[in-house]
Structure 1
């Protein structure tokens, strides 16, 4: 259930980022190109992004642990941008998916996606019961 909520929040965050024209991050929907196809494309891209972030992101974060300490965590911006760019590269093999025009726009988009995920994570976090 948490994975589905995470995918939906990621899809919403990716959609918000693609609405900003300066960022040069686009989503190409499935073949007919209607609203339903856009939503399904965003959900598919968000699911791929979640899997990439879980599998490859974890390995990169373990290997780059000394860089996290050296840069006081700022390397995570580059790693998250790389993971978003990698998701765009994976989905660009088909005729639909995410398109990041430049790596640095991916870094900015990943920062915004992280902020949106953080806000929704605080809102949707289950509350502990007070005794």
Structure 2
């Protein structure tokens, strides 16, 4: 089982990194999370989906602590989120006590289905957006 889990992680992340993310990053309406690279210090933009509720943006990482953006958040929680073409600065919080399966029910349906199907270690992330 662990081998299948590892193989799934490698296949999914390779496809996302090399094919899907470079394409979707260019879409003007794609939601992006911008973190600061923990080693390079450079901005890193990850296409994803979630839901804004007031001054909070919720998402579920499909690979938990193995996601590069989660590792970057742990190093530097100040982030930006592009929602409908507008950038919003904020502070990200990793929430291991939050039930990601329950959280997915409140997020966009198509993305939630993909996270469930391709995810290997779900983890909730909350971004508190700075007041505008």
Give the structure-2-normalised TM-score: 0.30
The structure in which a higher percent of residues are strand is 2
Q: Whose radius of gyration is greater, 1 or 2?
A: 1
The structure in which a higher percent of residues are helix is 1
